[in-house]
Structure 1
Amino acid sequence: MASELPEYDPNEPWGGDSRGATDDVNAQYAGLGFHYVYLILCAFIVWLIIPGIGLLYGGLARRKSSLSLLFQSFMVTSVVTFQWMFWGYSLAYARDASPFIGTLANFGMMKVQAAPSPGSVLIPETVFCLYQLMFAFVTVQILIGGSFERGRIIPSLVFAFLWTTIVYCPVACWTWNANGWLYNLPSRDYAGAGPVHIASGCSALAYALVLGKRKTEVEQGHGKPHNTTLVFLGTVLIWFGWFGFNGGSTLNASVRGMYAAFNTNAAASCGAIGWVLVDYIRTKGRFSVVGMCEGVIAGLVGITPAAGYVSCWPAALIGFLTAVVCASLQDLNDWIRIDEGLYVFKLHGIGGIVGSFLTGIFADSAISALDGSTLAPGAWNGVGVQVARQLADIASISSYSFVVSCILLLILKYIPGMHLRVSEEAEMKGLDIDQFVDEQIGDWSFFNDR
């Protein structure tokens, strides 16, 4: 183990001269390699959420619109990667950020190399940057579900770039940058209920609102997934990816990170139990594979802000309660009269709100201190005001993301060539036939689609 922890030197923002005769930029991490190897492994695991969401969304859609969701899964990732390298990382994590937004100090990945990262001095900044990139494009991929079966692809990719810049980066700065106002409030958001789930869920709701209802929603009985097998496979990948999502958010290889991984599994498992229980009662003794998968995802969403703050039994309870709340909102789209067909708002928006609120109740400094330094008490430790802080977090992020997304989409809607929605004829035929060359549209019968 290195005798001293690395320190950021503003005179050496690159972390040293890798070409110098005397500098060895790796020497400062001597004995600490297991921390950044662990984090880079977590980043690779998180990447599996990308095909997971693609398969989940593709399975939930009609067969003739599923290819467009698979396509967007990778294209959104590509667009957000470019945005992150261009200015996204700097707007979220610049060291000289204001309480609300970062500067362009790291524009074009400038100075992002071997120096200790702003998130943890135990890892190089380039590793931190890559890990946080995974969060950014998973968030935008979740959000794109709001365009379900009627959104044009090119405007959605333009929206992805702009949304990451105007919504995600500021919210990430508020929450995780050491200068952010929610970070210093402090709110407790271990792995992203606010920036990832509440922001994407509320913005997906805005997307569905601006697009309007599907023309064939009533006539053709939309709502049933065409391929339950794909839904199941997608959920498996998402569940696995979430071990890296939550397990790495401590930004070190401490016991706290391992405990967060355990909590992740506990919450997902109990989320499945909670949703299946509600389905069983609602349908008078029947089960649903899709419902079980939705319960897993609800549990994962609920535990995201809490994984590194709560002990295992509260983690299980958070997963269970989040799933029960989300499953009980079966008719939410009818109540609010918005056709949000993939239930992004219900699962991620509402699920993130429930998880964030319960984090304020169950946060336990004995768990956060497992990394050796973090004390984050909640009402569980007698700090009841933490619940109010969580409510401030929820209110600010949900309102900002919804309103700004609506404004951004309305601006795009009236730009020539950027109309957001496909024609009624294209919607009837399916997005795959309308927006892809014929030879790419294959036969999915192998998967026994309905």
Structure 2
Amino acid sequence: MSYNFTGTPTGHGTGGDTLTTDLNTQYDMVNMLWLGVCAPGVWLMVPGIGLLYSGLARKKHALSLLWASLMASAVCMFQWFFWGYSLAFSHHTKGNGFIGTLEFFGFRDVLGAPSSVSAVPDIVFAVFQGMFAAVTGVLMLGGACERARLFPMMVFLFLWMTIVYCPIACWAWNASGWLAKLGALDYAGGLAVHISSGHGGLIYALILGKRNDPVAKNGMPKYKPHSITSVVLGTVFLWFGWQFFNEGSAGNATIRAWYSGMSTNLAAGCGGLTWLFIDYFRCGKKWTTVGLCSGIIAGLVGITPAAGFVPIWASVIIGILTAAGCNVAVDFKSLLRIDDGLDCWALHGVGGVIGSVLTGIFAADYVNASAGSYAAPIEGGWINHHWKQVGYQLAGVCAAIAWSTTVTAIILLAMDKIPFLRLRLRPEEEELGTDEAQIGEFTYQEDTIFVPEPIRSHVSGEVPVAEAIDDKIMGEPKNASVKSDSTSN
């Protein structure tokens, strides 16, 4: 028995009745396969960010940042299903391309109709773009390191993804978005991912205030990363995932995808070397590992809006300039007296701006055309003598910064007025550490012994608590009167 497919794809709604219409005939299976592979590749960036942030933090806050990465993925996936995809990528928009409609609310009708990139159906594009949403969410949470309460963080993330991320994604990536129609170029997320998350994280850090540091009462708190190994491992995950992030953003498996892949790797390498050499002369002639990792990430951020538009040789310039600019931004952040301890703004906010502007200079029409019949023609940037392109890029940059900073501040200030949504830990909780105060579990067990069940004594005061805990761990109680008995009184 086989289906008798006699229907014709409709091109809208679900794309047609799957019982009578083979919706797959509209698409090249290779394109669907490529984006399907890229989606889990991008998701690996989420634990990568968690490892990076955790390694840069102090040990007593390390687990909470790993927790935040997985929590962000869970919250963003639900938000994306609930209405996020519809607000960003519905086939119709409101406000002249400002925001999408709710036609895909709860993934209603998300199936076989052509998506915003017509080479793949809505369902494939929705899965791929859902990973971008998760990455953006966890990046932004870096501004809250070591002092934010976790339940309000979850509430804030859902609201932020809805009111900040989805509109900017609609502007830049939806075919009907106002920035897309204006002519601004954002290949894989300079505006929607990096500028929005970097500046959102900056506002989060500003409103939370500085961490409590008895040594630096009048200055900016500075702490050494507790695990350089985690920083390196996080960077490895990010670099690996970024190759799916940028190459998949072509929306198809054409030459343009692989071209952008080489640009991505070259910019990452040049960015890493640039930051490494700058820090060598600034840090007592030491080849700093954290500096190398920071430069790699800066180069990746800078090439993100440009990878599918610029010649490969331009990625060298973009990697170098972005890493140098982000390195300076780390010091400028201290002048602003904003405690962004994980450099979310310096790397992603500033790096996204630099990369977006440089896209307007180096965008080339022939690189974009390497997608063949899938390409939407562009006039290019300055190297094509299209002088207006930098203006379009600056329009997108200014719009994304203004929207992200203003709306983020409104959300956070409003939440902080609600008692059970108070944003910041109390001073004694912050001193104890987010892991112990908010989670009750620890990345490292040598400082705090965790006993999974209560230990009670039948004879009050006969055995010290510390001795009872030691007995419990060793498995041989030294005093028979000490029992781990949940029924004892």
TM-score (normalised: structure 1): 0.93
Counterpart in 1 of 2:100?
102
Q: Deviations over 1:262-285 (max 9, x none)?
A: 100000000001101110121242
Counterpart in 2 of 1:161?
158
Q: Report the Cα distance in structure 2 between the residues aligned to 1:228 and 1:270, rounded to whole angstroms.
A: 21
Q: Report the Cα distance in structure 2 between the residues aligned to 1:217 and 1:227, rounded to whole angstroms.
A: 23
Match of 1:211 among 191, 208, 232: 208
Task: Work out the percentage of aligned pairs sharing the same amino acid.
Answer: 47
Residue 9 of structure 1 aligns to which amino acid in structure 2?
Answer: T
Q: Deviations over 1:232-288 (max 9, x none)?
A: 000000000000000010100000000001100000000001101110121242211
Pair 1:304-2:304 in alignment: yes
The alpha carbon displacement at 1:54 in A equals 0.5
Question: Larger RCO: Structure 1 or Structure 2 (Cα < 8 Å, ≥ 6 residues apart)?
Answer: 1
Counterpart in 1 of 2:422?
419
Q: Report the Cα distance in structure 1 between the residues aligned to 2:390 and 2:76, rounded to whole angstroms.
A: 33
Q: Report the Cα distance in structure 1 between the residues aligned to 2:185 and 2:56, rounded to whole angstroms.
A: 33
Instruction: Say if 1:8 and 1:116, in contact at 8 Å, map to a contact too.
Output: no
Residue 437 of structure 1 aligns to which amino acid in structure 2?
Answer: G
Q: Report the Cα distance in structure 1 between the residues aligned to 2:163 and 2:84, rounded to whole angstroms.
A: 10
Pair 1:88-2:91 in alignment: no
Q: How does 1:338-417 map to 2 (within 5 A)?
A: 338-372=338-372, 373-376=375-378, 377-417=380-420
Point out where structure 2 has 5 or more consecutive residues left out of the alignment: 1-7, 448-489
Instruction: Say if 1:365 and 1:374, in contact at 8 Å, map to a contact too.
Output: no
Instruction: Say if 1:366 and 1:375, in contact at 8 Å, map to a contact too.
Output: no
Counterpart in 1 of 2:31?
35
Corresponding residue SS for 1:18: coil
Counterpart in 1 of 2:123?
126
Q: Deviations over 1:337-391 (max 9, x none)?
A: 1111111000000000000010000001110110013333101100011011111
Counterpart in 2 of 1:71?
67
The alpha carbon displacement at 1:415 in A equals 1.1
Q: Deviations over 1:200-226 (max 9, x none)?
A: 001101000110111127459633110
Instruction: Say if 2:189 and 2:305, in contact at 8 Å, map to a contact too.
Output: yes
The alpha carbon displacement at 1:8 in A equals 6.9
Residue 229 of structure 2 aligns to which amino acid in structure 1?
Answer: T
The alpha carbon displacement at 1:333 in A equals 2.5
Q: Report the Cα distance in structure 2 between the residues aligned to 1:109 and 1:217, rounded to whole angstroms.
A: 50
Q: Report the Cα distance in structure 1 between the residues aligned to 2:446 and 2:365, rounded to whole angstroms.
A: 50
Q: How many residues align?
A: 432
TM-score (normalised: structure 2): 0.86
Q: Report the Cα distance in structure 2 between the residues aligned to 1:214 and 1:289, rounded to whole angstroms.
A: 25
With over 3 angstroms needed to count, the CA separation of the structure-2 counterparts of 1:24 and 1:402, relative to structure 1, is: same
Q: Deviations over 1:129-148 (max 9, x none)?
A: 01111111100100001101
Residue 286 of structure 1 aligns to which amino acid in structure 2?
Answer: K
Q: Report the Cα distance in structure 2 between the residues aligned to 1:357 and 1:424, rounded to whole angstroms.
A: 41
Q: Report the Cα distance in structure 2 between the residues aligned to 1:175 and 1:434, rounded to whole angstroms.
A: 40
Instruction: Say if 1:25 and 1:114, in contact at 8 Å, map to a contact too.
Output: yes
Corresponding residue SS for 1:83: helix
Match of 2:110 among 109, 112, 124: 112
Counterpart in 2 of 1:448?
none
Point out where structure 1 has 5 or more consecutive residues left out of the alignment: 1-6, 446-450
Instruction: Say if 2:194 and 2:301, in contact at 8 Å, map to a contact too.
Output: yes
Q: Report the Cα distance in structure 2 between the residues aligned to 1:28 and 1:79, rounded to whole angstroms.
A: 33
Counterpart in 2 of 1:195?
192
Instruction: Say if 1:216 and 1:428, in contact at 8 Å, map to a contact too.
Output: no
